[in-house]
Structure 1
Amino acid sequence: MHSHVIKLWRLRGVFTTITVIRCKAAVAWEPNKPLVIEEIEVAPPQSNEVRIKIVTTALCRTDLYFLSESTTKYTFPMVLGHEAAGIVESVGPGVTEFKPGDKVIPVFLPQCRECRFCKSPKTNLWKRCSRLNIFSRLTCRGKKLLQFANTSTFSEYTVVNQIAVAKIDPEAPLDKVCLIGCGVCSGYGAALNNARVEPGSSCAVFGLGAVGLAAVMGCKAAGAKTIIAVDTNPDKFHKARVLGATDFVNPNDHDKPISQVLSDMTNGGVDYSIECVGNVEVMRSALESCVKGWGVSVIVGYTDMHDFAARPIQLLSGRTWKGSKLGVTWISKDGVPEMVKAYMAKKLNLEEFITHKMTLNQVNDAIELMEQGIGIRTVLSVSPQQ
């Protein structure tokens, strides 16, 4: 890593040297192509911004989604990555909540604590979320690199607005709690906060990636009696069992719709279903797997490329269909530190999610593992902690 001085800023009454940092990052120059390890420039944080040294980052399937799909929201070149943990390197003018040396998790859902959404306990969405995707302090070969999901953590350093950073326990192991930045909160929170799983209930979780396994863990924490893990890869059933699943169904083993299979297993359908695949057909199956009258189905899997549909009678008969983003009421800057505390208190299992550890240089190998359905979460070592 190299840097050079560009200016002096007066922060808290002291003149501080602010530098451009040259460091390593995995750059996506175009869709459907391998990432390229490049030397990039990371400009100093501007007003209300925080520059973070990324220590560890995990690969999430959403990164692959935006690498493989050309959308109007995200263009190339860009630096992917949004599930990470690191250490504050420097702060811009107006930042009082953070200081160099703080351990933090960047969050893709900001929390300004001022807008209508941030003031509501019913959501963790932010009114102006998309606007944060416009700025970027990252450049390479003279080109601006898009700031992905407000974070861009496939880089040794990144700059994030302070409303998209959560300060965490200074004793937290960054190679574990990085998972709280997305996958674990998304699945765990969907079970507890969106579905509101009740003690003694029956649940079905569709898809046993990191998000689905976290949903299984959330169903268990909520006291569900029956937790059915649904996946076409039976190799994932062991992890699901460790995290709380009681029954296992591979749709390929049956010649009738999965909704009928689950209905037969649960005397008319499960109380709660959680879809963690991002497939519109699976979303419908998850809804139809719920019991009439009170069944609740939550969509967690991400897709924005296809419409989904169901017969109105599925809802007219009393079912509820909901969506979830980062576990909805895990409000980012407030909720993420609480999840870290839960892990530190041994109330949250993160180790079971980590199946591979690699370096940032091996990011394309990690992508290949995920595309092949091998493992759950690969954690990439980006920068040394000290």
Structure 2
Amino acid sequence: MSTAGKIIKCKAAVLWELKKPFSIEEVEVAPPKASEVRIKMVATGLCRTDDHMISGQLALPLPVILGHEAAGIVESIGEEVTTVKPGDKVILLFLPQCGKCAVCNHPEGNICLKNDVIVPRGTMQDGTTRFTCRGKPVYHFFNTSSFSEYSVVDETSVVQIDPASPLEKVCLIGCAFSTGYGSAVNVAKKTQVTKGSTCAVFGLGGVGLCVVMGCKAAGAARIIAVDPNKYKFAKAQEVGATECISPQDFKKPIHEVVKEMSGGGVDFSFEVVGQHDTIVSALSCCHKAYGVSVIIGAPPSSEDLRIDPTLLLTGRTWKGAIFGGYKGKDSVPKLVADFMAKKFPLDSIITHVLPFEKINEGFDLLRSGKSIRTILTF
């Protein structure tokens, strides 16, 4: 019997309190309104940004259903939806692309003004939610809320992909892969990345490893991977790192080590941790005359960052990137097509696959450093 137009009862991981485990609950998911899409989730990745929300490092309203790196199948659509239909395989977009705002119409911008990332409101575009649990409304997250068997998103936050694609792998294109890979081949490319360059990547989680892949694809001659967890070095070398170092092995600051290794500073550095000390280290290890440093990791929203302005005065470029600079609707289907054409791997960053109900176990693996990317399947 068709579920279109009806409330669906399903399981979801609800975060009721900060710094507490998820509670697997029965939730009610309302039908999509005009310009909305209801999706049956198939696979979702566990990202450090989700964990920042759990810890309170980034602010959001509670209770909430998190999750933003996901792929699924369209269950039903609201009126006026034209870009997807029931049965389509799709990837959710935590950065929407409305195609109408000033940012969407600018060739260099991808932070659509309809985003729910910069200041999370936790609702659909009309200011209401589609989730209910224990008789209470539950907030959305980043326009996606993929930690639920079903979710409702705005049409601007979903894109159709190749029906032959394996959703349990290409879900990573919804965040980790695009964010990391795009930061190297897309964001940094705008500042003249050339073959033979030297790069440093701070942080070797799922996103960091995708940065390494991107640096390799851009033709970097040296890729210095930096992480205190040596367990990650083998994976980093597998995807393209030429050298791996741990800050714990040196008495001097790690940026000085990287500068010495690179003969005065790297051409490009990428910070994929989201900590102030590594942000400054990544900037400092760039060559003072022409180095480019890209911030990718989400830093604490409640703290200011102080730096010596002479780090920029001499010629360094400092920039940030969300989702690798990609416009989701334009780029995600192409990235999926490239994956299907075997232009890049995704298996190498997937270390664990767990059933959705083991979400708390998955986050324990993330926090312990034992996983690169864990995929939950529904």
Common fold: TM-score over 0.5: yes
**Which runs of 5 or more structure 2 residues have no equivalent in the other structure?**
none
- Kindly report which structure 2 residues correspond to 1:188-207, keeping only aligned pairs within 5 A, or say none: 188-196=181-189, 197-207=193-203
SS in 2 for 1:81: coil
- Kindly report which structure 2 residues correspond to 1:1-386, keeping only aligned pairs within 5 A, or say none: 18-69=5-56, 73-130=59-116, 133-135=122-124, 136-196=129-189, 197-303=193-299, 304-328=301-325, 330-382=326-378
CA contact (8 A) 2:83 2:159 kept: no
Alpha-carbon shift at residue 134 of structure 1 (Å) = 2.1
| Matched letter for residue 117 of structure 1 | V
Alpha-carbon shift at residue 357 of structure 1 (Å) = 0.6
Tell me which moved more, 120-129 or 53-62.
120-129
Alpha-carbon shift at residue 307 of structure 1 (Å) = 1.6
Distance 1:70 1:319, change over 3 A: closer
Is the strand fraction higher in 1 or 2?
Answer: 1
SS in 2 for 1:134: coil
**Which runs of 5 or more structure 1 residues have no equivalent in the other structure?**
6-16
Two-structure CA RMSD over aligned residues (Å): 1.4
CA contact (8 A) 2:57 2:302 kept: no
Q: What's the CA shift string for 1:31-81, capped at 9, x where partnerless?
A: 11110111110000000000000001111011110011075x511111111
Distance 1:4 1:169 in 2: 24
TM-score, structure 1 as length reference:
0.93
Tell me which moved more, 299-308 or 167-176.
299-308
Distance 2:61 2:244 in 1: 40
CA contact (8 A) 1:4 1:20 kept: no
Distance 2:258 2:36 in 1: 49
Aligned residues: 367
Percent of aligned pairs with the same amino acid = 51
CA contact (8 A) 2:195 2:218 kept: yes
Alpha-carbon shift at residue 128 of structure 1 (Å) = 3.0
Alpha-carbon shift at residue 4 of structure 1 (Å) = 9.6
| Matched letter for residue 224 of structure 1 | A
Moved >6 Å (runs of 4+)? none
Distance 1:158 1:62, change over 3 A: same
Q: What's the CA shift string for 1:330-356, capped at 9, x where partnerless?
A: 101111111111100101110001100
